[in-house]
A = this chain, B = another copy of it.
């Protein structure tokens, strides 16, 4: 079955689907993050994670898992784990030795509030917690699923994923990158974890067909890249208050972006192209219901922050 002909979800339909899931994610994160940690560390971890962010990655995990009829408990843990990796990367990225940013989600960054040392440790502890959440003892989640989720998350987060992309980003300041080089950097820096979110959702299912897995991977790759293209556009077009972080930062720090490479119109066209690519992958997925995944792809491209 394909999605052809099925009407696109409107904002109300997406909200009706996502809001109960987001409430479950928030509640789970609140029960898991920084609990029983030394006080200051636990506070920094909770500050970094709770009450903030669009939770796009958890929603991608949950939508993909629902589409393959995955284990809901595993998917909730995977959704939280991937958000912890994202949150730790923001904490470390904001440190003075990296982007030296003081504002995130409209609030002081973790190191501004808790000091650099605790920010560093909170990030480190959040990464460990992500893998701890994926490998619970005495639940019904199969060890095969647990191991798969760890494998996908570790690859997405590591030197051939997010951390690798950040290293390339660091090394690229002031350089003239080709579109292929820029694409490779973002495929790792932002794309790997977004694509990993979709793959982790798919890994919560049993006996998912290879053609479906491949299509979901393609969908995740396209959405991941589209996310970064739109990020680059918003860095130019939006103000700091809307973004909740410092706007115009890429241009100011002379970082190569899709806008500096393709121009604003070119970047917008690239975002539409990637959206079409994501939707096309879903058409090939042989999944019965891809409404949520389609709506999330649209949301990524049409967002204003």
Contact = CB atoms under 8 A, between A and B. Distances in A.
Interface of A: 34, 36-38, 40-42, 45, 88-89, 92, 95, 97-98, 115-118, 120-121, 123-125, 127-132, 134-137, 142-144, 146-148, 150-151, 153-155, 157-161, 163-164, 166-168, 170-171
A97 B125 contact: no
Contacts of A168: 38
Contacts of A159: 34, 36-38, 41-42, 45, 125, 128-129
Most chain B CB within 10 A, of A127, A157, A159, is at A159
B171 A154 contact: no
Main secondary structure of the interface of A (DSSP, over half): helix
Contact of A124 (B38, B92, B137, B148): B92
Most chain B CB within 10 A, of A40, A89, A147, is at A147
Nearest to A85: B128
B151 A137 contact: yes
Given A41-B167, A167-B38, A158 B129 contact: yes
Contact of A121 (B45, B160, B167): B167
B135 A157 contact: no
A102 B160 CA distance: 28
